[in-house]
Structure 1
Amino acid sequence: MSATPAAGPRLRFHTDPREFLAAAADYLAADPVVSTVVTTVAHRLLSQQEEGIVAPDRNWWLVVRDDSGAVVGAAMRAAPFAPYPPFLLPMSDAAAVALARALHDRGEEVLAVNGALPAAQLCAAELTRLGGGRVQVSQHTRLHELGELARPKPVPGRLVAATEDDVALATRWFDAFMGDADEQAGRPRGASAHEVPDRADMLRRIRAGQLWFWVDEAGQRVHLTGANPPSFGVARVGPVYTPPAQRGRGWASNAVAEVSRRIQDEGARVCLFTDQANPTSNRIYAALGYRPVVDMANLVIVR
């Protein structure tokens, strides 16, 4: 691990998610919905570490402390897809700028920054000031939490858990998810970098009960909904994908509602992200009872 000088926000980088979680647990647990991406990724990689899977050397976890030593921010660089963007939770303006300077001093190439606003924007702006280029918005996202679930109009079919026989289909639909989302939001297909799990990772998700299909009356798989296991009492739904030929039939609303109900019945809170440029998905989730929590963004640095 390494730390910045004591003056101003104090940044400490960790290479081990276990150390990070131990250091930042109280902070992360205080607002587990906002922290969901960082906590779910940390717990997932910790679980893989215990299975003997070695994480890339580029991964790091960050704890930000104020002058009193209290944790006041966190971030990570653990994305499994290029250009491996850091993900920032809310932090002070000074901390966001200090992080950019620390990354520059560490010699890290950073071509994208994701996370909470304005921290992500300030960090990206300082990186361009130090290294050149300009900042562009790849995607504006919004994190929502489910309040009281409003069940949608029922449709034919039912929710079924994915099985190992579904690996190929689930992988194709994971891959199609972001490309279709780009097109629906008016972006070029492939504009948004994203993770496509390999076979081993997809099998882990399926065996952990994290993927479901909606099947129609004929037993055909017409929709996919995933969810991350709870971290600090919060589970995040996603991806949510319906192939183009099956859209507009209520599959997504019913699948997400049923997955959300099951999560709440198990005692966890439920959240999900939407693309602010996709009015259809935002409308669907609002109708189910999801309410906005915080705006975030995926930023790219063009050099």
Structure 2
Amino acid sequence: MRFGQCDYISVVFLCKSILLLLNAANFVAIVILSRGNCGLSGCITRYLISMNVTDLLVIITAVILNRISGIYFPGSFLSITPLCSLSIALTYAARVSSVWLTVMFTFDRFVAICCQKLKIKYCTEKTAAVVIGTVCVLGCLTNIPWYFIHEPIYVVDNVPWYCRLKDIRYTSLFWTAYDWFDRLLTPCAPFLLILLFNALTVRHILAASRARRRLRTDKGRENQTDPEMESRRKSIISLFTISGSFILLWMTYVIQFLHVRITDDYNIKSFSDPKFILQESGNMLQLLSSCTNTFIYAAIQKKFREELKNALHCPMKHITEIIIPRK
């Protein structure tokens, strides 16, 4: 089965629910975060902007260039094999970059909370820019092979059309190894790293909280508000919500991959085949993971909500003034 083939229900759900509602939200989040009025450090802001940009690229490449063009605009220039292969490679590159930026954001917060000495040198805007650039470059380089594994379904007037996987994809030792490498790179290794960093962060915070509580008790301040602990609590909520949503939404994809490799059964009989339903559900949920961060920010960041309200209020105010001019 070629990449991007799915039934009508899956396409409608993806296009209506994800693209129309959430793709615009990612763009709005990029604009709001770029203004730098959300009360976040420059380091965090760069990570969040880069995560939203790569998430937006995932939706553009995976949904617009791959699924929508294939279903609603068959035979367009995007269906020419070189462009089809390029869009698939770009989809994988954007996905890997998005996932590993989430990992690096988690690691950055781990350093900021647990490693005070390293924090001064590592948690800076310059380091964040270097890390983001490195992740994106490596994400593109490691997914170049996907461009060369596809062949045309048919050729008309010397023009190759559409993409399907070459038979060597299932017989070559190199491609078998590369397929395992790709799945370990995204999302198996990120799963383990995010869980590890979060576990270490929780352990450190619990220990620091107990020590700080004892200190405040000794000084008779146990009933007073602690700004430091409140700041840590908000950071942890943000970190755990972002990384937790990533793990939950990628879980089905991982289960589907492990099931196929353990059973060694790649055949899909029809759209009602449970293997096909599991595969498309995993694809749908991992695409959804590229759209959730904006809603997470809106739920837990007060200043982000305020900026979002201002961004929505200003255009509406101007429109109202045009429609109903002041007397």
Q: Same fold (TM over 0.5)?
A: no
Q: Which has the higher strand share?
A: 1
TM-score, length of structure 2 as denominator length: 0.27
Q: Which has the higher helix share?
A: 2
TM-score, length of structure 1 as denominator length: 0.29
